[in-house]
């Protein structure tokens, strides 16, 4: 095998391993949350296929890690109704969003159609005006790759831009 073919083969195997690991984590989360709720396996499979096809799996896990850190260290939660992933069952299962899209009838197919997703995918999280800057500072302190996107603070991942927007709640 030539060196070029060998490199491509290794890259394909690494990508496949990452996708399988991501799918395993989602299915494990499904088993943890599926105690009394029913989930449409077709929706989950479609979302998983699109996420893996677009190479978003590792970014989704990174987003999960970032938001868990914000929840743990600050006790802050983003506003689920405004999140751009609010209609994703996979995002809910991973704990990226905290509102079940099936219960809330938010199934909008945001991760169901690969043709609709342009990379880098922009994912918006809205925080109350009082805590948004603290969230951004925490992520900077944790070493996240902070940048700006249309004047809003964002974390740049491999295939995603995670934008932190502010909302004034009454």
Cα–Cα distance measured from residue 82 to residue 57, given in angstroms and rounded to the nearest whole number: 22
Q: Which two tokens stand for residue 82?
A: 């405004």
* pLDDT by position in tens, the chain (length 170): 588 888 999 989 988 999 999 999 999 999 888 755 667 788 899 999 999 999 999 999 999 999 999 999 999 999 988 999 999 999 999 999 988 888 888 877 788 888 889 999 999 999 998 899 999 999 999 999 999 998 899 999 999 999 999 997 66
pTM: 0.90
Cα–Cα distance measured from residue 165 to residue 108, given in angstroms and rounded to the nearest whole number: 21
Question: Left, alpha or beta for 167 (phi > 0: left; psi -120 to 50: alpha)?
Answer: beta
Q: CB neighbours of 77 closer than 8 A, spacing ≥ 6?
A: 71, 98
Cα–Cα distance measured from residue 34 to residue 12, given in angstroms and rounded to the nearest whole number: 32
Listed by start position, the domains of the chain span 3-167
Residue that is written with structure tokens 């914000």 in the block: 70
Residue that is written with structure tokens 């902070």 in the block: 146
Q: CB neighbours of 107 closer than 8 A, spacing ≥ 6?
A: 43, 87, 89, 101
């Amino acid at each position: 095998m030539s060196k070029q073919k060998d490199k491509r083969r290794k890259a394909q195997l690494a990508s496949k391993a990452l996708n399988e690991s991501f799918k395993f984590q989602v299915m494990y989360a499904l088993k943890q949350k599926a105690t009394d709720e029913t989930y449409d396996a077709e929706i989950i499979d479609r979302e998983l296929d699109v996420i893996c096809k677009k190479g978003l799996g590792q970014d989704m896990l990174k987003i999960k890690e970032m938001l868990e850190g914000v929840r743990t260290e600050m006790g802050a939660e983003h506003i689920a109704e405004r999140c751009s992933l609010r209609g994703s069952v996979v995002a809910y299962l991973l704990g990226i969003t905290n509102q079940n899209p099936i219960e809330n009838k938010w199934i909008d197919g945001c991760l169901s159609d690969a043709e609709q997703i342009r990379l880098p995918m922009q994912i918006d999280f809205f925080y109350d005006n009082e805590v948004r800057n603290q969230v951004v500072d925490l992520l900077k302190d944790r070493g996240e790759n902070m940048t700006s996107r249309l004047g809003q603070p964002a974390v740049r991942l491999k295939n995603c831009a995670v934008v932190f927007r502010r909302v004034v709640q009454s």
